[in-house]
Chain A
């Protein structure tokens, strides 16, 4: 695939010139310091990895470079010249290109129309020359050494093509520095190879690439140097030949975030009969041959990188995605999971990742949200009984300690933590045997976080089986009795909690190094 490397020109800039030099960058939001005296430099024709844990400040730093946020103090020098980046347009004009993670393409336009949006080649009467745009786009793809049809409608193409189009769009506008944020997260393995070959070719042309990734193997494969940020501060910048994966992981994890989320020893559940058995499950392109068992009273953690199939496994188990193979047994009996209704009937509940979009009707009241899956229980004849509905909602609000002035208030008005409690309460009202929680504490403050973790423990104590999916390792380590490590859609490793000494070893297991 794309084996022919086209002539990339003889342009070989001085490798020592800095393409990007950010010095002493400070940034605070509402008085909270996000970046403090951060240094970041990228050479011409260099692939520079940028790493750091959640909240380390990577994305804020990159948004400053793209002109989305303005820095509070510090200096940005691009190719030796001081730069003022106060808008996306400024950054573009200065040669900064971004391969957006949520793609910035218009699905209804063609590839070429997207690449030249706002800068279309025009002819007589200032009319757009689409054929010329197509030709120029084909030329850009040729220099990239990939084969993409410029006249294809973007919405009809797969994500790999979207990404190539994004890169072509940046190159067509003469970007000298490309920021790639987790570019392989949505790619299949062979597509990743194509991307890496492309990165190598761009590098040979003197284009610098800032590569944000959590995947150690990728960083080692394509990056020249790495900068690590921790808690908004610069930690180190080193050639990758001089650092080991363990050092990087230690740098990312640090020692500052522990304490709050300590593991609490629980009485290990008696392993009687498994409540849930999954055998050789396959679904879509991300879940490939997953098998495991889950016991009553157990909390099972699912760890894995983005794109490892964590969320997709949850969706498949809840009947949202169709199963392509394998079987699922509840209490020893095979169950049909062809839609969420059947999954609920089988005793499975899913608390989805994006609670605002998938878990709640934001405009409805707390009470209506709570009762939605429980309408059976508050019926009187064909009608819904207001009185028993109020009583049931009140008891759930009480039991889950939802802080709301009145059950009739819209869920939209609650804090993130309280919204999450409403989602929890709503599903636990259905009395499921197996509860799957996808990123249960995403976007909630640390206080609510430990409350939610406490709730998860209490559920397990009451005999429920819980699956917790999380990209925050301290959280997984705090609640799980057992952790499955997913890689490429399958179970790569199964770890008992007491066999995991610390967060770093879990990180290393997830990275597979």
Chain B
């Protein structure tokens, strides 16, 4: 860090100016690397793949549509990671939520379906949060276990069969519809990002999440109830993931245990690419959106470029490592 610039006496003339300059020099480009990355990758594909339809309106909307669900999950994940915890169960929570929504909806109607989906998030989030904050079990282990449990339940209660959703209202609200020219998925994504960004940056709850992640002892000594904060972020993350499960259900017009499988890793990648510290204490929801978009852009571009799945995976992995390496704090 800027140790050499700021070891001087407090109040010494010029010291603050030096500190401030040092801060700009160190933070400036690293904090914004993800924005730069999105622009650079976009321009790169625009030049290279402009002829293959990369710049067509349809393709650009597609990129957003494909990243929307991951982005919603990643907004919740931002809180968890900023609080120095992790939630590996989000993908299977989304899957279980999609099946529960579909099953309740076909029997009791649309309201019951939505409530069933949210209930999945509430129940699993409470269990995750309770085990982590009350019993002090590391969230990595709790949610790793929950990943298996939720996925297993989803597969078991459906006998591995997809659960079709025939309710058009549900399908159009949760993913298939459009408002004017804008796909509704993008609206959902926008709402989650906007609310998530304001709460994290501008409310006492958000500030206490960052404080708990940055130095739990200090937060405790300052009067932050860090147990409650940890419980709340894990609950919030699960509920958000259950909404994402309904977005899968609406877009694909069915509930299925595979929906969301593996999303935890994409969401974590988006969060970290977006500048949220894996060690907690710093986080940005807008950054997370950018991280998700970067991944979406790369996926889309590589497909248009005609690379096969194996090559896509390799290149995606390389870009993620490169971006995180460049964005890391010293």
Interface of A with B (CB < 8 Å)?
Answer: 1-2, 88-89, 92, 100, 102-109, 113, 117-118, 120, 122, 126-128, 146-149, 152-153, 155-158, 160-161, 164, 188, 190-191, 193-194, 285
Q: Are A1 and B211 in contact (CB under 8 A)?
A: no
In whole angstroms, how far apart are the Cα atoms of A191 and B207 in the complex? Answer: 31
Question: What are 18 inter-chain pairs, A to B, with CB distance below 8 A?
Answer: A2-B10, A88-B223, A89-B223, A92-B223, A105-B218, A106-B210, A106-B211, A107-B215, A109-B210, A117-B207, A117-B219, A117-B222, A128-B207, A152-B19, A152-B20, A155-B1, A161-B10, A188-B7
- In B203-244, the 8 Å CB interface with A consists of 203-204, 207-208, 210-211, 213-215, 217-219, 221-224
Residues in B whose Cβ lies below 8 Å from that of A161: 6, 10
The majority secondary structure among interface residues of chain A is: loop
Q: Are A152 and B215 in contact (CB under 8 A)?
A: no
Residue of B at shortest CB range from A192? B9
Residue of B at shortest CB range from A165? B10
Q: Are B223 and A146 in contact (CB under 8 A)?
A: no
Q: Are B11 and A194 in contact (CB under 8 A)?
A: yes
Q: Are A109 and B16 in contact (CB under 8 A)?
A: no
Q: Are A122 and B204 in contact (CB under 8 A)?
A: yes
In whole angstroms, how far apart are the Cα atoms of A329 and B201 in the complex? Answer: 56
Residues in B whose Cβ lies below 8 Å from that of A103: 218
Residues in A whose Cβ lies below 8 Å from that of B282: 108
Q: Are B217 and A157 in contact (CB under 8 A)?
A: no
- In B1-26, the 8 Å CB interface with A consists of 1-3, 6-13, 15-16, 19-20, 22-23, 26
B219 CB, nearest partner CB in chain A, Å: 6
Q: Which 3 A-B pairs have the closest CB atoms?
A: A108-B281, A2-B11, A106-B214
Q: Does B166 contact A (CB under 8 A)?
A: no
Residues in A whose Cβ lies below 8 Å from that of B198: 127
A113 CB, nearest partner CB in chain B, Å: 7
Residues in B whose Cβ lies below 8 Å from that of A89: 223
Q: Are B224 and A149 in contact (CB under 8 A)?
A: no
Q: Are B221 and A104 in contact (CB under 8 A)?
A: yes
In whole angstroms, how far apart are the Cα atoms of A211 and B222 in the complex? Answer: 21
In whole angstroms, how far apart are the Cα atoms of A1 and B15 in the complex? Answer: 10
In whole angstroms, how far apart are the Cα atoms of A453 and B183 in the complex? Answer: 76
In whole angstroms, how far apart are the Cα atoms of A105 and B219 in the complex? Answer: 8
Residues in A whose Cβ lies below 8 Å from that of B203: 126-128
Residues in B whose Cβ lies below 8 Å from that of A113: 207
Q: Are A1 and B6 in contact (CB under 8 A)?
A: no
B205 CB, nearest partner CB in chain A, Å: 10
Q: Are B208 and A118 in contact (CB under 8 A)?
A: yes
In whole angstroms, how far apart are the Cα atoms of A157 and B12 in the complex? Answer: 14
B275 CB, nearest partner CB in chain A, Å: 12
Q: Are B219 and A146 in contact (CB under 8 A)?
A: no
Residues in A whose Cβ lies below 8 Å from that of B219: 106, 117
Which interface residue of B1, B218, B223 has the most chain A CB atoms within 10 A? Answer: B218
Q: Are A108 and B214 in contact (CB under 8 A)?
A: yes
- In B259-286, the 8 Å CB interface with A consists of 277, 280-282
B218 CB, nearest partner CB in chain A, Å: 4
Which interface residue of B27, B215, B224, B280 has the most chain A CB atoms within 10 A? Answer: B215
Q: Does B57 contact A (CB under 8 A)?
A: no
Contact of B202 among A2, A109, A128, A155 (CB under 8 A): A128
Residues in B whose Cβ lies below 8 Å from that of A102: 217
B198 CB, nearest partner CB in chain A, Å: 7
In whole angstroms, how far apart are the Cα atoms of A106 and B209 in the complex? Answer: 11
Residues in B whose Cβ lies below 8 Å from that of A88: 221, 223
Interface residues on chain B, number (Cβ under 8 Å): 41
Residues in A whose Cβ lies below 8 Å from that of B217: 102, 104
In whole angstroms, how far apart are the Cα atoms of A127 and B10 in the complex? Answer: 32
Residues in A whose Cβ lies below 8 Å from that of B221: 88, 100, 104
Q: Are A153 and B204 in contact (CB under 8 A)?
A: no
Given contacts A106-B219, A156-B2, A156-B23, contact A149 B16 (CB under 8 A): yes
Q: Are A146 and B11 in contact (CB under 8 A)?
A: yes
B199 CB, nearest partner CB in chain A, Å: 9
In whole angstroms, how far apart are the Cα atoms of A120 and B206 in the complex? Answer: 12
A458 CB, nearest partner CB in chain B, Å: 40
A387 CB, nearest partner CB in chain B, Å: 36
A88 CB, nearest partner CB in chain B, Å: 6
Which interface residue of A100, A109, A148 has the most chain B CB atoms within 10 A? Answer: A109
Residue of B at shortest CB range from A151? B20
In whole angstroms, how far apart are the Cα atoms of A410 and B138 in the complex? Answer: 21
A185 CB, nearest partner CB in chain B, Å: 16
In whole angstroms, how far apart are the Cα atoms of A113 and B209 in the complex? Answer: 13
Given A104-B221, A117-B222, output 14 extra A-B contacts at Cβ < 8 Å. A104-B217, A107-B214, A109-B214, A118-B222, A118-B224, A120-B207, A146-B10, A146-B11, A147-B15, A147-B16, A148-B10, A152-B23, A160-B7, A161-B6
A347 CB, nearest partner CB in chain B, Å: 33
In whole angstroms, how far apart are the Cα atoms of A92 and B280 in the complex? Answer: 27
Residue of B at shortest CB range from A163? B10
A91 CB, nearest partner CB in chain B, Å: 11
In whole angstroms, how far apart are the Cα atoms of A153 and B208 in the complex? Answer: 16
Residues in A whose Cβ lies below 8 Å from that of B208: 117-118
Q: Are A164 and B10 in contact (CB under 8 A)?
A: yes
Residues in B whose Cβ lies below 8 Å from that of A193: 9
In whole angstroms, how far apart are the Cα atoms of A155 and B210 in the complex? Answer: 14
Residues in A whose Cβ lies below 8 Å from that of B27: 153
Residue of A at shortest CB range from B198? A127
Residues in A whose Cβ lies below 8 Å from that of B10: 1-2, 146-148, 160-161, 164, 191, 194
B140 CB, nearest partner CB in chain A, Å: 17
In whole angstroms, how far apart are the Cα atoms of A126 and B205 in the complex? Answer: 11
In whole angstroms, how far apart are the Cα atoms of A92 and B222 in the complex? Answer: 10
Q: Are A108 and B16 in contact (CB under 8 A)?
A: no
Contact of A147 among B3, B11, B23 (CB under 8 A): B11
Residues in B whose Cβ lies below 8 Å from that of A2: 10-11
B100 CB, nearest partner CB in chain A, Å: 34
B224 CB, nearest partner CB in chain A, Å: 6
Residues in B whose Cβ lies below 8 Å from that of A117: 207-208, 211, 219, 222, 224
In whole angstroms, how far apart are the Cα atoms of A146 and B224 in the complex? Answer: 28
A121 CB, nearest partner CB in chain B, Å: 11
Given contacts A120-B207, A161-B6, A285-B7, contact A156 B281 (CB under 8 A): no
Residues in A whose Cβ lies below 8 Å from that of B22: 156
B12 CB, nearest partner CB in chain A, Å: 5
B182 CB, nearest partner CB in chain A, Å: 26
Residues in B whose Cβ lies below 8 Å from that of A164: 10
A126 CB, nearest partner CB in chain B, Å: 7
Given contacts A1-B12, A146-B11, A148-B10, contact A109 B211 (CB under 8 A): yes
Which interface residue of A88, A117, A155 has the most chain B CB atoms within 10 A? Answer: A117
Residues in A whose Cβ lies below 8 Å from that of B218: 103-106
Residues in A whose Cβ lies below 8 Å from that of B3: 158
Residues in B whose Cβ lies below 8 Å from that of A92: 223
B276 CB, nearest partner CB in chain A, Å: 11
Q: Are B26 and A104 in contact (CB under 8 A)?
A: no
